Amino acid sequence: MNSRIFSRSNLLQILVVFEWLIVICLAGGLLLFLLYQAWGRAEPALPAAQASLAPTHTPAGSRTQTTLPTTVAFSPTPSTTFTPPPLTPSPSPTIPPTPTPEGARGKIVYTCTPEKYNQLCIINPDGSGEKRLTTRQANDYYPSLSPDGRSVVFVSNQNGTFEIYILNLVGGMERRITDGLGNVTAPELSADGSWIVFASKMLDDSSIWVIRADGSLPRDLTGDQWNEIDPTWSPDGKQIAFAGVRGGYVELFVMDANGNNIRQVTHDVSGIGGRSSWSPDGKKLVFYAGPRGDRDIYVVDVATGEATRLTQGGNNAGPCFSPDGNWIVFSSSRDGDHELYLMRSDGSEVAQLTDNAYDDWQPRWGL
């Protein structure tokens, strides 16, 4: 009898202990769960903090500065108030098919691409006399007429590397000017025909050079740290305009013919393309700027830096003043491929000059 009572008593004690163990386990699990929740709320949001370091995307040509988190000790330069043209290409304006440049003189030389290679072509400002100047299996481009209108200076890779050449329009004789001065572009003869200004890329960046028309005395005017391109002589030969990146964005600059007194001309014009041209009085520069695929022609006062847009849509480039300053020739892809167009220097009376099934571009107007 006593043995059965002892056994039952022991069994009851074991059950009580087992129940307490279950209660302790449940309480411990609840405590761990609460600690885990509290720890999770205290952890920093690492993905969000890392995501804030990514730069804010801006469209091509925009001057908006990269957005940085407030924890970074950096003060970006304030962005300008200039609002670039929209990225959506503007509708192409309606253009009359035949130009009527009354009183326009001289000839227009340009790059044409009738087949695989870039060639040189020439045309009168009234649309007559269109013909090819070169026909070879090499790329000829960046043509410019000499001050007397008798020859064309250009670059060609006919011997493997791009070098400067001069082509006589009367006899057809051609001679090479440079040899081993880097990848050269945009040559142009000075007003007296004695010097050629051009851009050359030796290593990483391009710089502005001059060389005598006979190929002697080459000289680097600006050094190769700024990536400067597309130089052009002022009408009196005393200054050179060019495009370069000296403050983070492409701007137009003017310097003395010896490379001194460099000063910035354009301000707050986004997406400058490079190629420019002086007005005959030396007071203005015509150039192109805007988002890639939707660029417009501008004119800027060299003294004040005040810029005026002359075109409204059409994707335009490579403008050049006529010798009398009354007209501007430029290329535009408003009809599908690049053709040459003329307009008054105030942007009025736009007319199409070439109409080919291939690209016509880089026009330069001379006598």
Rounded CA-CA distance 317/361 in Å is: 8
CATH superfamily of the domain spanning 107-366: TolB, C-terminal domain (2.120.10.30)
Tens digit of pLDDT for each residue in 52-65?
A: 223 333 333 333 33
Give the pLDDT confidence score for residue 53 in this predicted structure: 28
Rounded CA-CA distance 151/96 in Å is: 31
- Average pLDDT value for the chain: 82
Tens digit of pLDDT for each residue in 8-61?
A: 556 666 666 666 667 676 766 666 655 544 444 433 333 333 332 233 333 333
Q: Is residue 70 over pLDDT 80?
A: no
Nearest to 363 by CA among 341, 347, 343: 341
Average pLDDT over residues 220-238: 94
Which has more pLDDT, 127 or 53? 127
* Domain-wise residue ranges, the chain: 107-366
Nearest to 229 by CA among 243, 213, 214: 243
φ, ψ dihedrals at 305, nearest 5°: 80, 5
Tokens at 104, concatenated = 């326009």
Give the pLDDT confidence score for residue 14 in this predicted structure: 67
pLDDT band at 7 (very low <50, low <70, confident <90, very high): low
Give the pLDDT confidence score for residue 69 in this predicted structure: 31
Give the pLDDT confidence score for residue 24 in this predicted structure: 72
The DSSP-derived string for 147-180 is: TTSSEEEEEE-TTSS-EEEEEETTT--EEE--SS
pTM of the predicted structure, to 2 decimals: 0.74
Contact predicate 330/288, CB 8 Å: yes
Give the pLDDT confidence score for residue 336 in this predicted structure: 86
Q: Is residue 81 over pLDDT 60?
A: no
Rounded CA-CA distance 327/348 in Å is: 10
